């Protein structure tokens, strides 16, 4: 009985950690998209100069 409760609790914890990891990764991607738009130099503009 206790083994089943432990397994269910472990599955819930692993699920929560996976959800948190995915959410933090997606928010990191959003932050990267916002910052890279300003950092990249347009090659066409650079060649025209």
Rounded-to-integer distance, Cα 2 and Cα 15, Å: 20
What pTM was estimated for this model as a whole?
0.58
For residue 19, being part of any structural domain is answered with yes
User: What's the gap between Cα 33 and its chain centre?
Assistant: 12
- Domain count within the chain: 1
User: Is residue 13 included in any domain, yes or no?
Assistant: yes
Model confidence at 19: pLDDT above 70? yes
Q: Is the pLDDT higher at 15 or at 46? A: 15
Does residue 30 lie in a domain region?
A: yes
Q: Kindly state the helix (H) or strand (E) to which residue 35 belongs, with its residue range.
A: helix 2-39
- The DSSP element (H or E) to which 46 belongs, if any, is helix 43-48
Domain range for 10 = 2-35
Instruction: Look at residue 21 and tell me if it is in a domain.
Output: yes
> What average pLDDT score do residues 32-48 get?
63
The verdict on residue 31 lying in a domain is: yes
């Amino acid at each position: 009985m206790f083994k089943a409760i432990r397994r269910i609790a472990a599955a819930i914890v692993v699920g929560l950690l996976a959800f948190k990891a995915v959410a933090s990764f997606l928010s990191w991607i959003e932050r990267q998209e916002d910052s890279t738009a300003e950092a990249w130099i347009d090659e066409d503009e650079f060649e025209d100069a």
